[in-house]
Structure formats: structure tokens, C-alpha cells
Structure 1
Amino acid sequence: MSTSSPTLAHPLPSTRGQLNGVLFVALFAAAVTRVASLPAIAGLGISPLIVGIVAGTIYGNALRDGMPESWAAGVNFSARKLLRIAVGFFGLRVSLQEIAQVGLPGLVESVAIVVGTLAIGTWVGMKVMKLDRDTALLTAAGSAICGAAAVLAFESTLQSKPHTSAMAVGSVVLFGTLSMFLYPLLYRAGWLHLDTLGAGLFFGGTIHEVAQVVGAASNVSPEATHIATIVKMTRVMLLVPVLLALGVWLNRPARGRVAEGAHHAQGSRKLAVPWFALGFLMLVVVNSLHVLPAVATDTANTLDTFALTMAMTALGIETRVSQIREAGPRALTTGLILYVWLIAGGLGITWAVERLFG
């Protein structure tokens, strides 16, 4: 009896510590959500996810020593496993009917922007700015697909370090917020030379976050806002094929090394296949079939935003400023280069799409 009691007793404090850690992150995320709802913050199109990683990073670097060590497992659970679930449920925000409304022009615009931004961002980040692969990919993903949510999805697939996500989100915050003010000014000044359809394609195809797209396009017209939102959600849909392609790409060199006789520690890379992306796609189909009441969908989306906020807050808590300092300027420069591409290249793609389908 005496020998078995320690082994039985040991998991209980561990489990309790993990639950306490998850509860701590949940309470932290609730406070973050309240702050993000303040008019001054919400008016800038800054989502709870972004406030979460900023607040979490401040806490993680200034007050982390005040958190019991046993809670770390709960923080890690929120930043990893909860994250995958939340990204999967993000699919309830998209429907195939909405994407069909903008048709082929919206799809071509989205694919061209996503592929171009990922390729340019990865190449510039790794070859020019000498960033590590994960930081380059996360920075490119945030600009290419759907801002902070894409960074989270890629982070989960790459299994990268938290500070790389923080740098990528910083780029999304800076340049996405700038777009909210710059794009309407350029449009009203007549420098973009776009009609309502073109403005919707350009705004939805090149601005980082969904809230930022709505904020910017609402300064043009309701029609442009509608088109821009749908184009943006088309980009969100592309998260699934991009993540699946990324998983295949990550697995390919691992198989090669095993075949050459290298020790198969790299075999764990097979876990990089993002099965949560298939859950995302399944929920897009569910949402498109309208089998769920609107109240249920709205509730699920609210809970999903909260879960994503928890994940982002947890990533912030695990982030160390000293790690950000090492690659921060180079990551930000990569984000700037991508931003110039999104404006110039995005305009060129929009003009080409309008001419092609006009």
C-alpha cells in the first residue's frame, strides 16, 4: 500500500495544476475580451486575439514569476491543443454560398494574393533577411491569409516557438491597422483608380484581419464592404489547402532522411499534418448547409473567438522579449516588404482580374 500511494497521488497535483493553468488563461482572456470591446480599441479594428498576445507577453515577461510552476502545463495546453480545436471551429464563419457570390474574380484574386505573398514572404524572410524558416513562414502567413488566425494555424502545424508567433502578429497589427486608414484615403484621393467591385477585391484581397477589412471598406460603400468581406473569407478558406500543402512539404524531407538511414527522430514530423484543417473544412460545409440555427452558429463563433483569445494569450505568456529582440527588426522589415507587395502587387492583380472578367 505504501509503495503505491505516491504513484497514485502524483498525477493529482499535476492535473490540478494544469486545470488551474487553463482557468488562469481563461480569466485572463475574459479580461482581454473586455478591454478589446472598449470603443477606443474596437474602433481601430484590433481584435481580442491581438490584445491577448500583447497582454500575455507583458505578463509573461514582467510577472511570470508570480504564477505557480504547476500552471505551466495548462498554459501550454491552451497554446497548443486548444488552439487546434479553435482553428477548426473557425470554419463556421465561412460559407460556400458567400464565396460563390463574388465568383471566379474573387477566387482568382485570393489565390494570386495568397500564393504570391507566401512565396515572396518566405523567400525574402529566409534569403534576404536571414530569418529562420518558421519566423519567415509565420510572417508571410499572417500577411497572406487571415492575420492572427493564420499565424496561429501555421504555428500549430510548424510547432514553432512562441516568440516567432509574437513577431508575426506584431506585423499584422502594425500594417493591418495602417491599411484601415491608408486605403480609404488613397481611394478617396483617386489614386487607386478602382470602381466598387475593384475596391472590394483590393481591400478584401490585401488587408490582414477580417475586422480591418470591414473597417477600411466601410469608408467606401456598403457594396464594397460586402464584396471585400466575402473576398476576405475566400482567403480564409484557402487556409485549408495551404496548411495541407505545408504538412506535405514538412514531411517530405523527413522521409528522405529516414530513407538515407538517419535516425528517425524526425519521424515525429508526421504529426505536422494539420488534421484540424480538415475539421475547418467540414464545419464550412456544415455552415453552408444551414443545418445549425443562427443562434447556435453565433454562440459557437463567440466561444471560438474566446478560445482563440485564450490560445493567443497563452502564446504571449510563453513569449520572451529577449527572443523577439534577436529577429524583431528583420521580421518587421519582412512584413514591410510584404506590405509594399500587397499594395503594389495587389493593385496590379486587381486591375488584371477586373480586365479579365470585366
Structure 2
Amino acid sequence: MSHSPTLSHSSSITSHGQLNGILFVALFAAAVIRLAALPAIAGLGVSPLIVGIVGGALYGNTLRAGMPAHWAAGVNFSARKLLRIAVAFFGLRVSLQEIAQVGLPGLTESVLIVVSTLVLGTWLGMKLMKLDRDTAILNAAGSAICGAAAVLAFESTLQSKPEKSAVAVGSVVLFGTLSMFLYPLMYRAGWIHLDTLGVGLFFGGTIHEVAQVVGAASNVGAEATHIATIVKMTRVMLLVPVLLLLGVWLARSARRDAGGASGQTHGSRKIAVPWFALGFLACVLVNSLHVLPALATQAVNALDTFALTMAMTALGIETHISQVRKAGPRALATGFILYVWLIAGGLAITWGVQHVFA
């Protein structure tokens, strides 16, 4: 039985278009990385991921009509499948040895901040601000765990729309950048009565992005920066259990909804375990065992940053500003309240942790 020439030709066009779309996103991401390296932008602690989603959104809402329609498959691949692979390899930036350096105080700080911020952010977003479930969870995840990278990981698990991720990333950018300037000022003004360990715990436990943590803590000292970075990476490590729990919760919600719709209480839907979270954990273990030479790890991390930038750029291209505008003010208000919580609640948690482990 022979295949239809028309179908074969159509498949070839689709495949070729997807490849062109991926290549287009890759070239866009390369330009974004060069732009993010400019002193004026790098000095603000703005990562290529952030520049990517902004640049992608500007293109997607102005010039996208000029992009061939069959390239959309490649853009979608970059925003979905490539994203999952990149999040998994993000684990090579974390090692169990580093996490052990801050011990129980660092782990306790991270767990308390992540859990409280996720719970507060989700409840606040859905109940008080009347945001939809996905937008509320994405906002909470960006503030609680590791900024834009967490938003990307949660977006992949929730399978939410790109504009919801864009709203959450916007909140992360605004308040994370503010932290870089506000936290050192608060420390110098004497509003933060903490020793070097305490400063490291507070900065690493409450600032959104890794680059923002380094930028803020470097204004205090080298030791505080070292501690803050490790605490921050401990929060990143918590991405795995949180995503697994999210998968369980989503499966139960779907089963409950299906049961309610059909009048039954049992459904057949399986728990969706995000494989990239397990991949992330595997990469952490590889990094902890020092299987790869340092140069190889650096090279993979550079490629991973490029892949994450591609994913964020593609997400920006698929974002519709009109949709962002609908949830924008309420999502931003949620992000602000969470930011106030991270400062006030974070200080209280840091004092408590230091007191308990003194």
C-alpha cells in the first residue's frame, strides 16, 4: 500500500517548517543573550530569560504576522518540549555538597519560605484577587522558588497558556529587581539586624532569581554572597518535590471533577509525574558525584541557559498582550503582597531559624 504523495509532501513541509521555526527561535535567543550581556542590562541583574520573554512578546505582538505560519510548530516545540529538557539540565547547577554547607538552618529556611509562599500566593490569588487557578499558582511559584525558571517548570506541568506565564514572569522581574537595590539599602540603614549567616539566609531565602540574589548579597560581602547563593540553590532543589506534589494534586482534582461530572467518585486518570523533575534530580546527583569534568559542566550549563532562553523567547512569541492585560493588575497586586510577605515573613523566619539553631 503506497502513501499518498500529497500527504508525504504535506508532512515534509510541516517537518521543514518546524525545523525553520526552531532555528528562528535559536537565532532570536542568540541575539537576546548578546543583548542581556550589555553592561546596562547585566548590571541590573536581568537574566537572558527575562530579556527573551520581553523580546519575544514584543515580536509576537507586532511582527509575528510576517512569520510563515508553518514555523509555529517549531516555536511551540521550543516553548514546550525543549523547555522540559532545559529545566531537567538546570539540576547541574546544584550539588548536595553545597546544600550540606548551610545544613539544617538553610534547609529549614528554604522549606518554610517555599511552603508558606506557595500556600499564601495560591490562596491569595484565587480567593482574594479572583485570579484563575493557573495564574495564581504560577505567580506563587515564581515568588516562592526560583523566579522565571520555576514559572517555566510549573507552566509545563499545568499546561497553562503562555500569557499566564508572562504575567507571573513580569511580577518576578519587577519585585526581584527591586530587591537588588532595596535589600542592601535596608541592611546599610540598620533595618536588618542579622549577622553574616542571617543575611545569607534572608537574601537567599527570599529573593526571586539566582542572579538577583548574587547581585544583592555582593553588596554585603563575599561570605554572605556564598551563603545566600547556596540557600537559593536549596530553594531551587525544592522544585522537584513541589512539582511531584503538584502532579498528585492535579490528578486528584481531575479525578474529583470527573467523578462529579459522572456521578462517580473514582476516576481512572493516573498521576502525572513530570519526568523533567526526575531528570532535574538525576542531574543534581550527577553534579554531586562529580562524574563530569568542571569544563564539561560549564559547557552544558551554558547550553542549558541558551535552551532556557529559547524556551522563554518562544513563550514570549506565543503571548498575547491583550490576555496579559486582563489579569495584569490583579496578578501584580498579588505579587506585591507576596513581596511584602517575603520581606516581613522572611525576616521573622530567619530570626526564628537562627534562634532555634543557635
**Considering the TM-score relative to the shorter chain, is it more than 0.5?**
yes
- Alignment partner, residue 233 of structure 2: 233
Is the CA contact 1:94–1:233 (under 8 Å) kept in the aligned structure 2?
Answer: yes
Q: Distance in 1 between matches of 2:161 and 2:203?
A: 31
Q: Distance in 2 between matches of 1:261 and 1:190?
A: 57
Aligned letter for 2:234? Answer: T
| Change in 2 beyond 3 A, CA 1:297/1:185 | same
Aligned letter for 2:311? Answer: A
- Alignment partner, residue 186 of structure 1: 186
Q: Distance in 1 between matches of 2:144 and 2:179?
A: 14
- Alignment partner, residue 136 of structure 1: 136
Q: Distance in 2 between matches of 1:340 and 1:129?
A: 16
Q: Distance in 2 between matches of 1:13 and 1:119?
A: 46
- Alignment partner, residue 77 of structure 1: 77
**Structure 2 unpaired stretches of 5+:** none
Aligned letter for 1:324? Answer: V
Deviations 1:133-172 (A, max 9, x none): 0000000000000000000000000000000000000001
Deviations 1:295-337 (A, max 9, x none): 1100000000000000000000000110011010000000000
- Alignment partner, residue 244 of structure 2: 244
Instruction: Tell me the CA shift for residue 7 of structure 1.
Output: 1.9
Q: Distance in 2 between matches of 1:347 and 1:239?
A: 22
Instruction: Tell me the CA shift for residue 209 of structure 1.
Output: 0.2
Q: Distance in 1 between matches of 2:76 and 2:180?
A: 33
Deviations 1:209-251 (A, max 9, x none): 0000000000001000000000000000000000000000000
Is the CA contact 1:162–1:315 (under 8 Å) kept in the aligned structure 2?
Answer: yes
Instruction: Tell me the CA shift for residue 6 of structure 1.
Output: 1.2
- Alignment partner, residue 333 of structure 1: 333
SS in 1 for 2:208: coil
Aligned letter for 2:319? Answer: T
Deviations 1:108-150 (A, max 9, x none): 0000000000001001100000000000000000000000000
Q: TM-score, normalised to structure 2's length? A: 0.97
Q: Distance in 1 between matches of 2:171 and 2:342?
A: 13
1:106-121 equivalent positions in 2, closer than 5 A: 106-121=106-121
Instruction: Tell me the CA shift for residue 261 of structure 1.
Output: 6.7
Q: Distance in 1 between matches of 2:56 and 2:258?
A: 39
- Alignment partner, residue 320 of structure 1: 320
- Alignment partner, residue 161 of structure 2: 161
SS in 2 for 1:62: coil
Is the CA contact 2:171–2:335 (under 8 Å) kept in the aligned structure 1?
Answer: yes
Instruction: Tell me the CA shift for residue 269 of structure 1.
Output: 6.9
- Alignment partner, residue 293 of structure 2: 293
Q: Distance in 1 between matches of 2:150 and 2:65?
A: 30
SS in 2 for 1:131: coil
Instruction: Tell me the CA shift for residue 273 of structure 1.
Output: 2.4
Instruction: Tell me the CA shift for residue 259 of structure 1.
Output: 4.6
Number of residues paired by the alignment? 356
Q: Distance in 2 between matches of 1:261 and 1:208?
A: 39
1:1-358 equivalent positions in 2, closer than 5 A: 4-259=4-259, 262=262, 270=270, 272-358=272-358
Q: Distance in 2 between matches of 1:336 and 1:18?
A: 39
SS in 2 for 1:301: helix
Deviations 1:157-206 (A, max 9, x none): 00000000000000010000000000000001111101100000000000
Is the CA contact 1:84–1:156 (under 8 Å) kept in the aligned structure 2?
Answer: yes
Q: Distance in 1 between matches of 2:141 and 2:3?
A: 52
Is the CA contact 1:121–1:140 (under 8 Å) kept in the aligned structure 2?
Answer: yes
**Structure 1 unpaired stretches of 5+:** none
Q: Distance in 2 between matches of 1:254 and 1:294?
A: 44
Instruction: Tell me the CA shift for residue 2 of structure 1.
Output: 9.1
Q: Distance in 2 between matches of 1:319 and 1:205?
A: 30
Q: TM-score, normalised to structure 1's length? A: 0.97
Deviations 1:29-58 (A, max 9, x none): 000000000011111100000000000000
Identity %: 79
Is the CA contact 1:122–1:137 (under 8 Å) kept in the aligned structure 2?
Answer: yes
| Change in 2 beyond 3 A, CA 1:70/1:224 | same
Q: Distance in 1 between matches of 2:142 and 2:186?
A: 23
Q: Distance in 2 between matches of 1:263 and 1:18?
A: 43
Deviations 1:270-316 (A, max 9, x none): 57421110000011000000010001100000000000000000000
